[in-house]
Amino acid sequence: GENVEQHPSTLSVQEGDSAVIKCTYSDSASNYFPWYKQELGKGPQLIIDIRSNVGEKKDQRIAVTLNKTAKHFSLHITETQPEDSAVYFCAAPLTGGGNKLTFGTGTQLKVEL
Amino acid sequence: GAVVSQHPSRVICKSGTSVKIECRSLDFQATTMFWYRQFPKKSLMLMATSNEGSKATYEQGVEKDKFLINHASLTLSTLTVTSAHPEDSSFYICSARAPGQSHEKLFFGSGTQLSVL
C-alpha cells in the first residue's frame, strides 16, 4: 500500500514570506497528488492537485511541484497571509485500494504578523 | 467545487446511546462516499467506504457493528455510532467523489465533533 510522509509537522512564517511543505510517497504507480487545507473544526478543502503527467501547477499564490523520479511533491505558498494559517494535508492514491486516498500527517502552518 | 453537507456539526451524548451522522451531496449524485475519523492534531484515518445500494466496505480494525453505515440514496450516507463510549469521541468527516471529476478527487463535509460523556 501507499505510505505518505509529510514534513514539517509545524511551520511558522512571517506574513509575506513563502511557505513550503513537502511530501514523499512510496508507490511509483501513484499518479494523482492533492493538497487539502483544514481550518480548525472544519473539514478539509481541496486547494490544488496535480497529475503525474505534469511537473508543476500553479493557482495564484499556490503551486504544487512533482518529482516522480524522487517520488516527492511539494506545496508552495507565496506572499503568505494570516488567513493561510491552517493545517495542510497532502495525499496520494492507495494503489489497488479502490481509488482511496492516503493522507500525510499534516502540517500546521502559522503565518505571523 | 462540489458541495458536501454534513450534519450535525457537533453532538454531545451520554455513554451507551447511539448517534447518527448524515452526509449529503447537495448538487450531485455520489455512488461512493467515504467516512474518516480524525483525532486532535492527527491525520485523517479512513474508516469505511459507503456504496449506494450495497454494503459498506470497512477498513481493517474498524468494527462494522459499532459503526453502522447506510447509503440508501445517491445523495445520502449515514454513519451511526452505536452504544457510544468516551473512546468514540472524535471528529468524523465524510467525503464524496463528484461525477465528471477525476476518480480520485474528493470533496469533504464540514465534519462532526462527537463528544461522549
Q: What's the confidence (pLDDT) of residue A4?
A: 92
Q: Do B106 and A101 touch (CB under 8 A)?
A: yes
pLDDT of residue B70: 92
Q: Is B51 on the interface with A (CB under 8 A)?
A: no
Question: Residue B5 in contact with residue B30, Cβ under 8 Å?
Answer: no
Residue-wise pLDDT for A51-78, tens only, equals 887 899 999 999 999 999 999 999 999 9
Q: Say if the Cβ atoms of A100 and B43 lie within 8 Å.
A: no
3 state SS for B28-94: CCCCEEEEEEECCCCCEEEEEEEECCCCCEECCCCCCCCEEEEEEECCEEEEEECCCCHHHCEEEEE
| Closest chain B C-alpha to A111 CA, distance in angstroms | 18
β-partners of residue A53 are none
Other CB atoms within a 10 A radius of the CB of residue A73 amount to: 27
Average pLDDT, chain A: 92
Q: How far is A61 from chain B (nearest CA, A)?
A: 19
| Residue A2 banded pLDDT, cuts 50, 70, 90 | confident
Q: Which of A29-33, B8-12, B68-72 has the highest mean pLDDT?
A: B8-12
Separation in Å, CA B72 to CA A95, A109, B24, B56, B76? 28, 39, 11, 11, 7
The pLDDT tens digits for B44-87 are: 999 999 988 889 999 999 999 999 999 989 999 999 999 999 99
